[in-house]
């Protein structure tokens, strides 16, 4: 009889402790604008083996002396998602928590989890109650889509009882800027209409566009290539790689060679003096030969197996 | 009598000159065709008459069905062995133009009692059509400038590596015939526009239909012609010739394109085709307005008319927007949308982003594929602006659009190549026109006329002025002519050397058969792919399902003739992700997936021993990514990297990586090959792990059978005893 009493008391006690845990977490979350600021002790409470709630924890290092720039970039996004979650009705809200663990508050936790870098986001599923998934291990959020809030909210919505009602804040400054730019360009358009209506404006724009595109501009945009190499070199080794500066150089080389041909075809025949014309022809032919040789030698840098070379 | 720089015969009658020039043109075109075909035969000479790569294997297999069972059977062909267990309705999900073309050639030759093997027709179809492409480009360029530019353009496209890369012998893919159709449809469009001819418009529509039946890239024509028409309207160049040409092309072309089952109602229900429909409507409005204007003189009424046209146009545009919004018109498909929003594919459709030919193009690829044409190209565009006839606008629009597309995707280099060839030919032929003309200008007379002009550089803007004075302009002396002509000849011959080199080394590998150079320069043929497929064909039951990554699906079906889970027709993302999941899960998790799909064999390509970098370990991250897209909770890309964010395969590899089926199969017993020495993976330049408990390492290719009573608990005991090994080394 006595033992049964103790057992009941134990059960009650456990249940009570659990209750307190969740209650306290709710209070702390409310106090922290939807985010619980964790330390080693509350971390254990939040991620206890028996939890009816799920949780998203941001492991970060915000202290200035740590110098973690990505942490500072990501922190506002995490907080705004957490804030969006705190607008959900209480019965759902209390089933999922957002929390932040700073390295300086609990380095032991970082060691325990084997974390060597920050920021990291772990999503802990519920292990008990109606929402349990059968898994206890947390899943890691990879920052594949960058440090923005919207993809984070989208990703976490799979875990929360209802989707996180996150919306990107309306960027008024951007909208006003766009409207201003449209009006401004409209006014400008009237002013420069005579220029726009000449074919050479279009020819210039079209040719520049083609030159830039065929010099690998889209490659540098899509692959986020740096403008120059780390060691200051401007030309990247390797056939399927290039730096931003190469776009300028190659577009210039192509443009110069194209110009030389235009000169020879269109402008030089207009020359009325035989001597001047001869000089121009030799000049532009020399330009073609030399610049073409430079182009081929640049190509040899990229493709080392290329067997041909010109004068250089 | 003008002074001449070099003597020309004067006693020839014009008819003789004309006939001789015509003969020369025919002979030159014949020689160009010969060169175009010959330069595509490197792959046959170096290797053998074999179908290349991946997609051609499917086309070949389908063509064999067409040739052996007839067109009707092919049309209704349901292939139960692909996408096991779903199957694939081939007739309705394929562009049949290519197979139909080779089928017709095959039956034609049979009728002539020439028993040519269908495989040889397939292998040689692309070189054959490249000769037609050269001719179509000649016709197209002739409309832009003249015959001499046409011949240059034909020669350029005949040997430019940018086009050869997709049309060598054995590269039996849709592009093989599509570029000919593209250029010929464009030529017919230009011709129809020039003449205002409904006949040419209709022929353009017929070839457009052929193009729709042959290649998904027909959308390029569907948008290119409307953009051209739209620009002409905006420039105030609307004419009845434009109206007749466009309407005849659009009406007949659209109706006939809807006869292709794979296209169906897309021309009236998807955004890619809406531009063409919109321009069609706009043309009716503009034509109607012009008609009314010519009959009514009141100024106010004309104002009203203009407002009405704009209002109806705006109404039509908003109707499009509304229909798109409500889902009546399908929005841009991911493939096309990713051309504009370049980050889109990586985020939402990793299958498209994972294909190597969908990567952006760095500048060396442009130079490799087009060499000196690359800088003649802008010069030719400038010369088009100088004249700016209706058809020149077409070249300009084509040039700007396709250079953007080619920058975004390597494979679209193919659509850039024709316009670069045309444009470069215009530039080079204009140059030669000036410097081969024997007439010398008169110095004194010009000096008097000159002050009227402000300067030579400003003379370009008006074509009229340059034309009226062209008789007095030209080149003095003979040395000046020679230096430019020799410089041009030297560049042209360098171009030929370049093209031959690139074609023979870079673009003539079948990729089914690989070649490597030994230390002493001797050539080794690595035929492991075909041997592996042949092994499957010989040693497995006919209905044994083979799981592999989708790249090898068509080849397994074509060469091993076994059912596959996924293949290169990537229509079912979930099914591909299932394979990705099986490959990237641990054995315990992968096994139930394999059993559910009746998989008996898993095919893994491993190149760590010979240094073949296109193997599955290098593709592995894409499998993980695609699986993660469907099962984000179970598969996570970050788990396959070391804590420091590196992709490693040695002892430092992450735990998930080490446990994955792909990893285990790739490195199983790999270390044994090194006989106690440290095993080195030659692709990733890392030490290979030892003591892996599954998978069969071979030189290049391994095939491993999962024994039927194979269970995770029995794994250790039975993994080797229960597997059929294929020993070769």
Residue B249 has pLDDT above 60, yes or no: yes
User: Hey, are the CB atoms on B407 and A207 less than 8 Å from each other?
Assistant: no
A261-302 confidence digits (pLDDT tens):
999 999 998 888 888 999 999 999 999 999 999 999 999 988
Whole-number pLDDT of residue B4: 83
Average pLDDT of the segment spanning B550-575: 86
Residue B496 has pLDDT above 70, yes or no: yes
Average pLDDT of the segment spanning B214-233: 92
| Interatomic CA distance for residues A90 and B671, integer angstroms | 59
Average pLDDT of the segment spanning B394-415: 92
Residue B707 has pLDDT above 90, yes or no: no
Question: Which residue in chain A has the smallest CA separation from B441?
Answer: A272
Average pLDDT of the segment spanning B220-228: 94
All residues of chain B having their beta carbon less than 8 Å from the beta carbon of residue A218 are 342, 360-361, 404, 407-408
- Confirm or reject contact between B376 and chain A (CB < 8 A): yes
| pTM exceeding the 0.95 threshold for the entire prediction | no
- Cβ neighbours of residue B152 under 8 Å, at least 6 residues apart? B141, B424, B425, B428, B429
| Interatomic CA distance for residues B153 and B423, integer angstroms | 8
Average pLDDT of the segment spanning B196-204: 95
Residue A13 has pLDDT above 90, yes or no: no
| Interatomic CA distance for residues B672 and A154, integer angstroms | 47
H or E segment to which residue A140 belongs: strand A139-141
Please state at what angle helix B240-257 crosses helix B218-234, rounded to 10 degrees.
Answer: 160
Residue B417 has pLDDT above 80, yes or no: yes
Min Cα separation A291/chain B (Å): 11
Question: Looking at the domain that runs over A26-156, which CATH code has it been given?
Answer: 3.40.30.10
Please state at what angle helix B363-370 crosses helix A244-262, rounded to 10 degrees.
Answer: 30
The distance of Cα B422 from the centroid of its chain, to the nearest Å, equals: 18
User: Hey, are the CB atoms on A218 and B399 less than 8 Å from each other?
Assistant: no
| Interatomic CA distance for residues A208 and A217, integer angstroms | 12
B420-444 confidence digits (pLDDT tens):
999 999 999 999 999 998 888 876 5
Enter the tokens of residue A76. Answer: 């506002």
A84-106 confidence digits (pLDDT tens):
888 887 777 778 888 888 888 88
In the block, tokens 């250079």 appear at: B403
Enter the tokens of residue B326. Answer: 């409500």
Average pLDDT of the segment spanning B261-281: 88
Using an 8 Å Cβ cutoff, are B202 and B88 in contact? no
Question: Which residue in chain B has the smallest CA separation from A271?
Answer: B456
Q: Which of the four pLDDT bands, split at 50, 70 and 90, describes residue B492?
A: very high
- Confirm or reject contact between B484 and chain A (CB < 8 A): yes
| Interatomic CA distance for residues A108 and B26, integer angstroms | 84
- Confirm or reject contact between A119 and chain B (CB < 8 A): no
Whole-number pLDDT of residue B449: 43
What is the C-alpha end-to-end distance of chain A, expressed in Å? Answer: 101
- Confirm or reject contact between B401 and chain A (CB < 8 A): no
Whole-number pLDDT of residue B452: 41
Using an 8 Å Cβ cutoff, are B392 and B384 in contact? yes
Other residues' Cβ atoms within 10 Å of the Cβ of residue B214: 25
Residue B214 has pLDDT above 80, yes or no: yes
User: Hey, are the CB atoms on B363 and A250 less than 8 Å from each other?
Assistant: yes
Chain A contacts in chain B segment 492-551 (CB below 8 A): 494, 497-498, 501, 505
pLDDT, averaged across chain A: 82
Give the three-state DSSP class for B71.
helix
| Interatomic CA distance for residues B26 and B17, integer angstroms | 14
Question: Which residue in chain B has the smallest CA separation from A254?
Answer: B375
Q: Which of B367, B431, B471 to mutate to test the interface with A (most CBs of A within 10 A)?
A: B367
B165-175 confidence digits (pLDDT tens):
889 998 899 98
Residue B720 has pLDDT above 50, yes or no: no
A207-220 confidence digits (pLDDT tens):
999 999 999 898 88
Q: Which of the four pLDDT bands, split at 50, 70 and 90, describes residue B625?
A: confident
Enter the tokens of residue A65. Answer: 């002396």
C-alpha dist (Å) from residue B450 to A271, B391, B442, B445, B687: 9, 32, 12, 9, 76
Q: Which domains does chain B have, with CATH numbers?
A: 188-331 (no CATH), 525-718 (3.40.50)
Q: Residue B690: name the closest of B655, B645, B658 by CA.
A: B658
All residues of chain B having their beta carbon less than 8 Å from the beta carbon of residue A116 are 643-644
Q: How large a percentage of chain A has pLDDT more than 90?
A: 20
Average pLDDT of the segment spanning B332-361: 73
Q: Residue B225: name the closest of B110, B360, B105, B393 by CA.
A: B393
Residue B588 has pLDDT above 60, yes or no: yes
In the block, tokens 């799920």 appear at: A54
Using an 8 Å Cβ cutoff, are B129 and B123 in contact? no
Question: Which residue in chain B has the smallest CA separation from A144?
Answer: B347
Q: Is the pLDDT higher at B139 or at A24?
A: B139
Of B375, B457, B638, the CB nearest to A267: B457
Other residues' Cβ atoms within 10 Å of the Cβ of residue A285: 18
- Cβ neighbours of residue A141 under 8 Å, at least 6 residues apart? A120, A121, A122, A123, A152, A155, A156
Average pLDDT of the segment spanning B512-531: 74
Residue B345 has pLDDT above 80, yes or no: no
- Indicate the domain borders of chain A: 26-156, 215-302
Whole-number pLDDT of residue A85: 83
All residues of chain B having their beta carbon less than 8 Å from the beta carbon of residue A216 are 360-363, 366, 407
Residue B684 has pLDDT above 90, yes or no: no
Whole-number pLDDT of residue B524: 73
User: Hey, are the CB atoms on B378 and A207 less than 8 Å from each other?
Assistant: yes
pLDDT, averaged across chain B: 83
Average pLDDT of the segment spanning B526-544: 82
User: What are the residues facing B686 on neighbouring strands?
Assistant: B681
| Interatomic CA distance for residues A83 and A62, integer angstroms | 19
Average pLDDT of the segment spanning B40-55: 87
Q: Residue A222: name the closest of B345, B414, B197 by CA.
A: B345
In this structure, the strands spanning B599-605 and B545-547 are parallel
Enter the tokens of residue B500. Answer: 């031959």
Whole-number pLDDT of residue B254: 95
- Confirm or reject contact between B236 and chain A (CB < 8 A): no
Give the three-state DSSP class for B615.
coil
Of A207, A209, A277, the CB nearest to B476: A277
Residue B702 has pLDDT above 60, yes or no: no
User: Hey, are the CB atoms on A265 and B430 less than 8 Å from each other?
Assistant: yes
Choice among A180-184, B22-26, B392-396 with the minimum mean pLDDT = A180-184
Residue B116 has pLDDT above 80, yes or no: yes
Residue B716 has pLDDT above 50, yes or no: no
Residue B715 has pLDDT above 90, yes or no: no
Q: Which of the four pLDDT bands, split at 50, 70 and 90, describes residue B694?
A: low
Residue B462 has pLDDT above 60, yes or no: no
Using an 8 Å Cβ cutoff, are A285 and B483 in contact? yes
C-alpha dist (Å) from residue A164 to A22, A75, B383, B632, B708: 20, 17, 58, 17, 46
All residues of chain B having their beta carbon less than 8 Å from the beta carbon of residue A289 are 487
A103-135 confidence digits (pLDDT tens):
888 888 888 877 777 788 888 888 777 777 767
C-alpha dist (Å) from residue B237 to B193, B232, B283, B313: 12, 5, 12, 18
- Confirm or reject contact between A257 and chain B (CB < 8 A): yes
Whole-number pLDDT of residue A261: 94
B630-650 confidence digits (pLDDT tens):
887 788 888 888 877 788 888
Whole-number pLDDT of residue A288: 94
Whole-number pLDDT of residue A309: 85
Of A209, A271, A299, the CB nearest to B400: A209
In the block, tokens 């109606």 appear at: A130
Choice among A161-170, B174-183, B596-605 with the minimum mean pLDDT = A161-170
Chain B contacts in chain A segment 33-92 (CB below 8 A): none
Question: Which residue in chain A has the smallest CA separation from B366?
Answer: A214
Whole-number pLDDT of residue B646: 80
User: What are the residues facing A101 on neighbouring strands?
Assistant: A38, A59
Of A142, A281, A303, the CB nearest to B637: A142
- Confirm or reject contact between B361 and chain A (CB < 8 A): yes
Other residues' Cβ atoms within 10 Å of the Cβ of residue B369: 27
C-alpha dist (Å) from residue B376 to A255, A256, B87, B364, B424: 9, 10, 50, 16, 5
Q: Which of B5, B338, B363 to mutate to test the interface with A (most CBs of A within 10 A)?
A: B363
In the block, tokens 């004067």 appear at: B10
Phi-psi region of A104 (alpha: psi -120 to 50; beta: other; left: phi over 0): alpha
Q: Which of the four pLDDT bands, split at 50, 70 and 90, describes residue B705?
A: very low
Q: How large a percentage of chain A has pLDDT more than 70?
A: 92
Choice among A18-27, A55-64, A248-257, B294-303 with the minimum mean pLDDT = A18-27
Using an 8 Å Cβ cutoff, are B670 and B686 in contact? no
A220-256 confidence digits (pLDDT tens):
888 888 888 888 788 887 788 888 889 999 999 999 9
| Interatomic CA distance for residues A28 and B570, integer angstroms | 49
Residue B608 has pLDDT above 80, yes or no: no
User: Hey, are the CB atoms on A210 and B399 less than 8 Å from each other?
Assistant: yes
Provide the ipTM: 0.82
| Interatomic CA distance for residues B499 and B480, integer angstroms | 29
Whole-number pLDDT of residue B320: 81
- Measured in degrees and rounded to the nearest 5, phi and psi for residue B600 equal -110, -25
Residue B450 has pLDDT above 60, yes or no: no
User: Hey, are the CB atoms on B365 and A239 less than 8 Å from each other?
Assistant: yes
B62-110 confidence digits (pLDDT tens):
999 999 998 888 888 888 888 888 888 888 888 999 999 999 999 999 9
- Confirm or reject contact between A242 and chain B (CB < 8 A): yes
Burial of residue A293 (number of CB atoms within 10 Å: 0-12, 13-18, 19+): middle
Of A117, A258, A285, the CB nearest to B379: A258
Q: Which of the four pLDDT bands, split at 50, 70 and 90, describes residue B451?
A: very low
Radius of gyration (Cα) for chain A, nearest Å? 32
How does DSSP assign B467-521, residue by residue?
Answer: HHTGGG----SSHHHHHHHHHHHHHHHHHHHHHHHHHHHTS---SSSEEEE-TTS
Average pLDDT of the segment spanning B35-45: 92
All residues of chain A having their beta carbon less than 8 Å from the beta carbon of residue B347 are 145
User: Hey, are the CB atoms on A214 and B636 less than 8 Å from each other?
Assistant: no
Average pLDDT of the segment spanning B19-41: 95
Strand order in the sheet with A120-124: A35-38, A96-102, A54-60, A120-124, A139-141
């Amino acid at each position: 009889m006595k033992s049964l009493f103790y057992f009941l008391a134990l059960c009650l006690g456990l249940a009570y402790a659990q209750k307190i845990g969740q209650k306290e977490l709710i209070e702390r979350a409310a106090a922290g604008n939807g985010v619980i600021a964790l330390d080693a002790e509350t971390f254990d409470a939040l991620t206890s083996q028996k939890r009816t709630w799920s949780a998203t924890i941001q492991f970060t290092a915000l202290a200035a002396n740590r110098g973690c720039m990505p942490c500072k970039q990501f922190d506002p996004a995490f907080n705004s998602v957490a804030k969006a979650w705190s607008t959900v009705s209480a019965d759902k809200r209390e089933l999922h928590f957002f929390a932040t663990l700073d390295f300086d508050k609990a380095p032991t936790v970082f060691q325990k989890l084997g974390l060597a870098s920050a920021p990291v986001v772990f999503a802990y599923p519920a292990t008990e109650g109606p929402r349990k998934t059968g898994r206890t291990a947390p899943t890691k959020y990879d920052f594949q889509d960058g440090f923005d809030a919207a993809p984070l909210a989208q990703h976490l919505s799979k875990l929360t009882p209802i989707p996180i009602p996150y919306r990107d804040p309306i960027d008024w400054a951007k909208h006003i800027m766009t409207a201003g730019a449209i009006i401004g360009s409209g006014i400008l358009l009237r002013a420069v209409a005579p220029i726009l209506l000449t074919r050479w404006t279009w020819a210039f724009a079209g040719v520049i566009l083609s030159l830039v595109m065929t010099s690998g501009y889209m490659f540098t945009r899509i692959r986020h290539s740096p403008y120059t190499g780390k060691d200051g070199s401007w030309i990247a080794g390797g056939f399927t790689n290039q730096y931003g500066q190469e776009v300028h150089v190659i577009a210039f080389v192509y443009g110069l060679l194209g110009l030389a041909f235009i000169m020879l075809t269109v402008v030089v025949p207009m020359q009325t003096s035989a001597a001047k014309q001869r000089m121009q022809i030799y000049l532009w032919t020399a330009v073609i030969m030399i610049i073409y040789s430079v182009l081929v030698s640049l190509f040899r840098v990229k493709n080392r197996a290329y067997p041909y070379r010109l004068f250089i | 009598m003008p002074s001449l720089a070099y003597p020309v015969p004067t006693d020839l009658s014009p008819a003789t000159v004309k006939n001789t020039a015509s003969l020369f043109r025919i002979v030159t075109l014949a020689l160009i065709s010969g060169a175009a075909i010959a330069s595509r035969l490197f792959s046959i000479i170096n290797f053998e008459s074999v179908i290349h790569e991946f997609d051609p294997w499917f086309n070949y297999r389908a063509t064999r069905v067409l040739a052996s069972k007839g067109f009707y059977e092919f049309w209704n062909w349901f292939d139960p062995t692909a996408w096991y267990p779903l199957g694939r309705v081939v007739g309705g999900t394929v562009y049949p133009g290519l197979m139909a073309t080779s089928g017709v050639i095959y039956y034609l030759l049979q009728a002539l009692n020439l028993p040519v093997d269908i495989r040889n027709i397939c292998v040689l179809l692309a070189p054959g059509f490249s000769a037609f492409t050269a001719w179509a480009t000649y016709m197209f360029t002739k409309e832009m400038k003249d015959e001499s530019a046409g011949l240059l353009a034909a020669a350029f496209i005949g040997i430019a590596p940018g086009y050869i890369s997709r049309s060598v012998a054995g590269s039996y893919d849709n592009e093989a015939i599509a570029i000919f159709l593209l250029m010929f449809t464009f030529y017919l469009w230009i011709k129809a526009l020039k003449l205002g001819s409904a006949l040419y418009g209709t022929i353009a529509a017929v070839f457009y239909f052929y193009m729709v039946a042959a290649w998904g890239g027909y959308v390029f024509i569907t948008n290119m012609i409307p953009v051209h028409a739209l620009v002409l309207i905006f420039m105030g160049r609307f004419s009845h010739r434009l109206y007749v040409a466009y309407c005849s092309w659009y009406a007949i072309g659209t109706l006939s394109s809807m006869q292709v089952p794979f296209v169906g109602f897309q021309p009236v229900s998807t955004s890619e085709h809406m531009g063409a429909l919109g321009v069609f409507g706009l043309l009716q409005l503009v034509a109607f307005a012009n008609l009314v204007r010519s009959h009514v003189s009141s100024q106010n009424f004309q104002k009203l008319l203009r407002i009405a046209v704009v209002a109806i146009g705006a109404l039509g545009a908003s109707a499009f927007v509304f229909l798109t919004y409500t889902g009546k018109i399908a929005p841009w498909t991911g493939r096309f949308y990713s051309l504009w929003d370049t980050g889109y594919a990586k985020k939402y459709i990793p299958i498209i982003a994972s294909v190597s030919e969908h990567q952006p193009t760095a500048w060396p690829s442009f130079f490799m594929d087009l060499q000196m044409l690359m800088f003649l190209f802008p010069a030719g565009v400038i010369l088009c602006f100088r004249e700016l006839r209706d058809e020149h606008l077409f070249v300009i629009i084509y040039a700007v659009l396709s250079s953007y597309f080619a920058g975004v995707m390597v494979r679209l280099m193919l659509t850039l190549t024709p316009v670069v060839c045309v444009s470069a030919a215009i530039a080079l032929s204009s140059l030669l026109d000036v410097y081969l003309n024997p007439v010398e200008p008169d110095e004194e007379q010009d000096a008097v006329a000159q002050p009227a002009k402000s300067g030579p550089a400003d003379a370009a803007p008006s074509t009229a002025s340059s034309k009226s004075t062209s008789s007095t302009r030209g080149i003095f002396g003979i040395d000046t002519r020679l230096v430019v002509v020799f410089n041009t000849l030297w560049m042209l011959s360098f171009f030929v050397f370049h093209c031959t080199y690139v074609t023979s080394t870079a673009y003539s590998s079948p990729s089914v058969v690989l070649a490597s150079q030994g230390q002493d320069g001797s050539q080794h043929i690595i035929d492991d792919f075909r041997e592996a497929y042949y092994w499957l064909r010989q040693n497995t039951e006919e209905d044994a399902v083979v799981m592999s990554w989708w790249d090898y699906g068509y080849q397994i079906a074509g060469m091993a003739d076994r059912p596959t889970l996924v293949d290169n027709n990537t229509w079912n993302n979930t099914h591909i992700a299932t394979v990705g999941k099986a490959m990237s899960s641990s054995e315990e998790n992968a096994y139930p997936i394999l059993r559910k799909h009746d998989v008996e064999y898993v095919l893994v390509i491993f190149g760590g021993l010979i240094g073949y970098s296109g193997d599955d370990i290098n593709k592995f991250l894409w499998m993980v990514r695609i699986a993660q897209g469907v099962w984000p909770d179970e598969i996570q890309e970050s788990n396959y990297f070391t804590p420091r964010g590196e992709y490693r395969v040695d002892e430092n590899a992450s735990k998930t990586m080490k446990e994955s089926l792909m990893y285990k199969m790739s490195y199983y017993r790999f270390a044994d090959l090194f006989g106690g020495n440290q095993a080195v993976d030659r692709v990733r330049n890392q030490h290979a792990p030892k003591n892996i408990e599954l998978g069969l390492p071979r030189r290049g290719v391994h095939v491993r059978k999962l024994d039927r009573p194979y269970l995770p608990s029995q794994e250790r005991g039975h993994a080797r005893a229960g597997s059929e090994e294929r020993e070769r080394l």
